[in-house]
Copies of this chain bind each other. A is one copy, B any other.
């Protein structure tokens, strides 16, 4: 049984960086999830687990299948060092993103493209929503916040383990999807139609954009159709994750 008691330990320093630094996550493809619910989801995808981290005094549920995973026990100080929440449950999974081949990407027929969304909670909720709606993948453009930061992971409630989340150039993605015959929808206030006029389909791409400024106009100019969600009351706009939910559920068959 492995045990770590010093916050100066090299592995603890690595974990700490995975929790706090986007650069470290992107360099390694690794990330850390926290809490019973997320670790339980991770255990359903053992190929993505590097190790499980457990604080002294925390009992793991008897039903958890932990035979084949590396378990690292840590003391209170180490747990606190990597905990995201104040009342941490003291259980973590150090994970590694699944490699996604180009071939796999060619097969995606229902894709959510995200342009410059800034709030980690929104990104996480959008990943959860895309997962629920049966979307094939989420593609984040350059300006979007990191989807593997602790707040995004928490909001996504484990959907990172179910649906591929990749980074990409959205202009290229739009072109490639269109070359494959997949219709690409943007959300915009200009030259748009109500989303209710779009027929549900087995193949489509939806682009959603920044909380304040929406989608980059250069990308919008390339879509097949831009759509709006009509505002029927006094609000100026909808939260981007809520809008994503309304649109994805209207578009899927």
Contact = CB atoms under 8 A, between A and B. Distances in A.
A125 interface: yes
A227 to B, nearest CB: 13
A238 B155 CA distance: 10
Contact of A157 (B125, B163, B236): B236
Interface in A207-253: 229, 231-239, 241-246, 249-250, 252
Given A239-B155, A242-B241, A243-B245, A131 B162 contact: no
A16 interface: no
A135 interface: yes
Contacts of A237: 132, 157
Contact of A232 (B125, B133, B232, B242): B133
A246 B239 CA distance: 12
A246 B161 CA distance: 24
Q: What is the size category of the interface that chain A forms with chain B?
A: 35 or more
Contacts of A249: 229, 246, 250
Contact of A245 (B163, B233, B246, B252): B246
Interface of A: 121, 125, 128-135, 155, 157-159, 161-163, 229, 231-239, 241-246, 249-250, 252
22 contacts: A125-B239, A128-B235, A128-B239, A128-B242, A129-B238, A129-B239, A130-B233, A131-B235, A132-B229, A132-B231, A132-B233, A132-B237, A133-B233, A134-B232, A157-B236, A157-B237, A163-B234, A238-B245, A241-B241, A241-B242, A242-B245, A246-B246
